[in-house]
Structure 1
Amino acid sequence: MPAHAPDGDFYVSPVYLAGSTVSGDPALQPLLGQGFHLHHDELSNVYVASPEQHIRIGYLPEGEDCILWKIAVHSDPFKPPRWLATFDNNTPTELVTAFTTALAHDYAQGHETYLYGATGRNRGFQPLVDAGWRTSEGPHLSVSVAPDGLAEINHVQGALDDQAELSGYQSRWSTSGGCNGYSARWHATFSTRTPSHLIAATAAALADPTPVPRYEAEIPKRNLTAARVTPVPPPVPTPLDVRRATAARARSAGHRALVCTPAVATASSGPNSARPSHAARGRSR
């Protein structure tokens, strides 16, 4: 389980059943850390680009389709993208973050593997093969399927129309997961020239058995019966927390003692001392 404080009420595994956190921050942060520029439109769609405009990312919660993420890489910023990756609005955030982290790492190295990296299918599948997914390679379609059958990656062989790929109508690679049904199933695509090491980074996150934190409302209801869901345990108090709690209890106990301590009895106290006697009243006149 993650060592840091979790952001959620439950831990969910496998990740492909966890649902999206519907937050762009984790996946955008690796790129913003490399000096990418960020702006947004009046609809709260967010756009991030590298300083020289070779890498462009759109986080589109108010987009016209179900695509939440569009990642385009250009060899020439004034021409169509060399490759395109998309993730829909149900895709677990950790998968997008794995992809953008690998992309940001390439950019930070100062070379162009994010543009011209190898595109062979074997490297993209390798993390799933290592994790024991059922993988089959055919002349037209190669597929790797999770042990429970609820997630897979596909690679299409043969010629594809470049314009159709970059328009989102075809894709060389596709990955999906979740139980059938609205909001439970998710889908992501990668066009032909997407470097296979970036796809492998996504595949490694897809096969990672580590539980991920989610709030209850973020977990697709159709996935609950198939996923492993456990409550997030309360945080273990630090020594400073213990000292503060002990001091607070001590202050509270002292306050209660002051409030509850009776007045000190005087020598004239007794059952008849509540009001003065007739003789005393007479003497006082």
Structure 2
Amino acid sequence: MPPHDDLRTIDGDVYVSPRYLAGTTAIGDPALAPLLDLGWELEHDDLGNAFVHAPDRKVRLGYLPEGEDDGLWRINAYKDPFGPPTWGACFNDSCPTEFVRAFTTALAEAYEHGPGAYLAAPDPGSADRDPFNAIAPLINRGWQIDHPRWGVFAVQSPDGLAGLEFTTGRLDPETELTTRDARWQMWAGTSIDRPAWYATASTGTPVALLKAVTECVSDPTPLPRWQEETYSYVQGLARLTPVIPPRPPAATPLDVQRAAARRPAALTTSSVPRWSTTSRPALPGPRR
């Protein structure tokens, strides 16, 4: 059970485990919040898509429920606001919203540190920017190294139902931003070709942002979801545990004494007025 959940506000009636088999919450607000809290500008188009811009216009996020493909979340960063993206990330419309929020939270923190952080390209020669730092959380939690094909380094979850791929060699920058053929790809489901969800990131994406996602994806804590929303988990593979509200604590002897003290005094025959021959007659009631 998530350690900080308030069972009065949990948005769901089951916990889904492992969490990478949970789907989207279909609510974008939690992932937008870290950027909006910094004062980033929010705009909407006539279709219902939302766009968030950094004050310097060098980072942009699109939440695109009415987009041209299944790329629900697209985040790009620029050295020049009018030039091509320096890096781009995409989360599809089935990706758990918590993973997107992990990315935007790390992005908000990096933005506060300036371009040297949110435009910091991976660098194997740097301890802080080594691409392996993004993979380490998965390996530390039991994910296994794999080499599915030439030029691809991968790690898979112990059950084989989630994975991360890192493609080596030169890649076309435009292709990275518009297709799944990117430097980084995460997925979950029974097949990478038809995943339950996927996320991609291009070559220049800062390692700190990627690490925030891999830490969140591999976290053993389950995610709350509504059981009747079958799209919210990989049916038949995820483990569902009911969200059980806590039982009220048993009353102590002191609680019993205090409750008794708060009760009104018991009514007795001496406290109840009796009618007698000297009682005043009842007043006549209204006419019917």
TM (norm. structure 1) is: 0.79
Aligned pair count reads 252
In structure 1, what is the Cα distance between the partners aligned to 2:232 and 2:78? Answer: 39
Matches within 5 A, 1:131-280: 131-136=141-146, 140-168=151-179, 170-179=181-190, 185-220=196-231, 223-234=234-245
Q: Deviations over 1:87-115 (max 9, x none)?
A: 10000111111111111111122352211
Matches within 5 A, 1:16-95: 16-95=20-99
Which residue of 90, 109, 112 maps to 2:116? 112
Residues 82 and 111 of structure 1: CA distance in aligned 2, closer, same or farther (over 3 Å): closer
Which residue of 103, 114, 127 maps to 1:99? 103
Deviation at 1:165, TM superposition (A): 1.5
Residues 166 and 183 of structure 1: CA distance in aligned 2, closer, same or farther (over 3 Å): closer
Deviation at 1:122, TM superposition (A): 1.2
Q: Is the 8 A contact 1:181 1:222 kept in 2?
A: no
- 1:135 partner letter: I
TM (norm. structure 2) is: 0.78
In structure 1, what is the Cα distance between the partners aligned to 2:61 and 2:235? Answer: 31
Corresponding residue for residue 4 of structure 1: 5
Q: Is the 8 A contact 1:184 1:220 kept in 2?
A: no
> Equivalent residue of 1:174, what SS?
strand
Which sits farther off after the overlay, 63-72 or 175-184? 175-184
Q: Is the 8 A contact 2:175 2:181 kept in 1?
A: yes
Corresponding residue for residue 121 of structure 1: 131
Q: Is the 8 A contact 1:179 1:223 kept in 2?
A: no
In structure 2, what is the Cα distance between the partners aligned to 1:111 and 1:64? Answer: 30
More helix by share: 1
Q: Is the 8 A contact 2:22 2:232 kept in 1?
A: no
In structure 2, what is the Cα distance between the partners aligned to 1:183 and 1:118? Answer: 29
- 2:131 partner letter: R
- 1:152 partner letter: G
- 2:173 partner letter: D
Flag the structure with larger Rg: 1
Residues 226 and 154 of structure 1: CA distance in aligned 2, closer, same or farther (over 3 Å): same
In structure 2, what is the Cα distance between the partners aligned to 1:183 and 1:62? Answer: 21
Instruction: Give the aligned CA root-mean-square deviation in angstroms.
Output: 3.1
In structure 2, what is the Cα distance between the partners aligned to 1:184 and 1:216? Answer: 21
> What fraction of aligned residue pairs are identical, expressed as a percent?
43
Q: Gaps spanning 5+ residues in structure 1: where?
A: 258-263, 268-285
Q: Deviations over 1:163-204 (max 9, x none)?
A: 222233621111100245999711111111111221111111
Corresponding residue for residue 127 of structure 2: none
Q: Deviations over 1:225-282 (max 9, x none)?
A: 22121111125669xxx9xxx8xxx89xx9xx9xxxxxx7879xxxxxxxxxxxxxxx
Which sits farther off after the overlay, 60-69 or 111-120? 111-120
- 2:162 partner letter: A
Residues 220 and 180 of structure 1: CA distance in aligned 2, closer, same or farther (over 3 Å): farther
Q: Deviations over 1:117-164 (max 9, x none)?
A: 425431221111111100136861101000011000001111111122
- 2:212 partner letter: A
In structure 2, what is the Cα distance between the partners aligned to 1:183 and 1:11? Answer: 24
Q: Is the 8 A contact 2:43 2:51 kept in 1?
A: yes
- 1:60 partner letter: L
- 1:195 partner letter: P
Residues 7 and 169 of structure 1: CA distance in aligned 2, closer, same or farther (over 3 Å): closer
> Equivalent residue of 1:65, what SS?
coil
In structure 1, what is the Cα distance between the partners aligned to 2:112 and 2:248? Answer: 38
In structure 1, what is the Cα distance between the partners aligned to 2:98 and 2:194? Answer: 17
Runs of 4+ in 1 over 6 A off after TM superposition: 181-184, 264-267
